Amino acid sequence: MLESPATLVREAFALISLRVDKIGLDPEHGQAIVLLKDDDGNRYLPISVGPFEANAIAMAIEDVKPPRPLTHDLLRTVLDNLEVKVTRILIDDLKETGDGTGTFYAQITLETGGRQIEIDSRPSDAIALAVRTGAPIFALEKVLTAAAVSADTDEGPQVH
């Protein structure tokens, strides 16, 4: 039975909750990778990030306090002092490039004074802010459909 177009659109734009599972290096390309895992534990979303962003995410997860604030720590402090809350991170798009790779896009949702503001962000910066503020991380189902790797296979994402 074919699904209606409305059902297909609704499913593509469903929000899937994710958490940071691992940070490491892709052994094939030597690129820093953040592995986000869905809450059901069925899929990984591997996102390539820069080495500084990978380090910033890892430091926050491991609760390492640098002697001076990193950029993401500074942003969290500014938001806290302005009484702005990070309510969620949404990885909302993946645009393929001609060389077979792609670029992920994200939105940071802020709440202040009873209104919500969405800010375009690189996923790495959004994730670094999320791990500092406790904000939930989501991805659209269409992004996971395009880029997720099954957690059930032995060929799952390998990081070192």
Three-class DSSP labels, the chain: CCCCHHHHHHHHCCEEEEEEEEEEECCCCCCEEEEEEECCCCEEEEEEECHHHHHHHHHHHCCCCCCCCCHHHHHHHHHHHCCCEEEEEEEEEEEECCCCCEEEEEEEEEEECCEEEEEEECHHHHHHHHHHHCCCEEEEHHHHHHHCEECCCCCCCCCC
The 10s digit of each residue's pLDDT in 85-119 is 999 999 999 998 777 678 999 999 999 999 999 99
Say whether domain 5-150 belongs to CATH 3.40.50.850: no
Domain boundaries, the chain: 5-150
Label residue 157 by pLDDT band (50, 70, 90).
Answer: low
The 10s digit of each residue's pLDDT in 136-155 is 999 999 999 999 998 876 54
pTM of the model: 0.87
